[in-house]
Structure 1
Amino acid sequence: MTLGLILLSVLIVSLVSLVGILTISMSGRKLKNIIFILISFAAGTMLGGAFFDLLPEAAEIEGILIADIFLYTLIGVIVFFLIESFIHLYHCHVGYHKPHEYRHKPIAYLSLIADGLHNFLDGIAIAISFLVGIEVGVAVTIAVILHEIPQEINDFSILIYGGFSNLKALGFNFLSALTAFIGALFAYFFSASMGGGLTAFLLAFSGGGFIYMSAANLIPEMHREAHFDKSVLQLIVLLLGIAIIFVITNFA
């Protein structure tokens, strides 16, 4: 029964990834007109997710030093830099020598990797909470859903910005969400042997990935906007994304 509740909860959370379907009805021109706002929101939610959710959770694990969290975060930044460098090299080898000729921007693939890892961790959290008690499991599932709504809008926006079509972005985002099942099953069968050090590493590593994508890809893209009024709007949306994650992680 417990395993069934865990899998049902993970399925419900995974279906939140389809929130991007709300933009399917938009024309390509209309979506293009608001993409700069979506990118600002994505940058904000990524920074908020890293500094208000992932890193604090890693720091709260017993026996983990703050210095270790910084190290794991730095490893995440470096690994995501190497992954992006590999993607750039791959594109060059297959004949795409100029950034504007890429069929898909590297940020799209980085987002899928980071989101997959993040959903894997969500699956672990849901499974462990149900092993503690059904009431705890339901509460954690609701909290994850509230957290995932802005996160999935973020992920969908990045995939669209990265060159994916609406339907392709929706499909890949859903596939990435399914890694939560792997995390849930892993935690259910191996929770007794899963140490806090591994969980802390995964949390901080994922946080480092979020920081890298926001600082190296999304925020520089925001600087392309030359109009003052749009730049101010971008800043407001960036801060809104950060604020939403802060509220969800502290009061949800």
Structure 2
Amino acid sequence: MSAVRTHPGRPSAAFVLNLFEEAGASVAPGFAQIVRGLDWETFADSVGAFAATIRPQSNPQALARIFRHHAETEGVGAEVIGFVASTIADERHRRTMSRHAADERRHCRIFSAMADVADGTCGISPAPSPAPDAFVDQYDGDLPSFLCDTHFAEVRNVFYLSTLSENIHHPDVLAQHKIQAGLARVIGDEKRHVLSTATILNELLSGDPLMRDRLASGLAGYAAFIREEAERAAAAS
């Protein structure tokens, strides 16, 4: 089965705004202006950076290790997001983030199942762990900053998982089909998470003049990550 091609492609400056349009959601003029005004071309570079670092993979054991790693990180992320959701006063935003956490728990199960499909000898599937104590102790209730970080992490996941999907070639046709179906489901959820976090940021923007700086800071961090990925790929080539 051919790989699922779901990455946003170029130009990615319009990636988030296109998700709003597809969902029939309105965008505050200020938010749209910020999205266009910041260096969102960084997102377009994501495709090239991940394409250079993710190699074609067909070894069942190696694929199982990749999926188990993602199961573990999704499980931790689920509990972190769930913890933050429990602290949100706004009921709508609390529900949105609680659903987000539930999706991440499901992703933990999906990746665990994919690991078993890839290689049935990979071992016991991980269960979601509690939110790390270090995060719980340090979280100061700064929801906008957390949402910025989460938003950019979800954008990264869409590009990364889409590129990963294109490079998976399990030797068993049925296993390949199941793996691609699982990845397609997770990628679809991650695109929804990009939209849901952007929607809350869009709303918060109208009441917080510092949101532009927070968005810019989050984007700068993402850009630095992409540069590191590209440099690592160049060094390895």
TM-score (normalised: structure 1)? 0.44
User: Which has a greater percent of helix?
Assistant: 1
User: Comparing both chains, which one has the higher relative contact order based on Cα–Cα distances under 8 Å and sequence gaps of 6 or more?
Assistant: 1
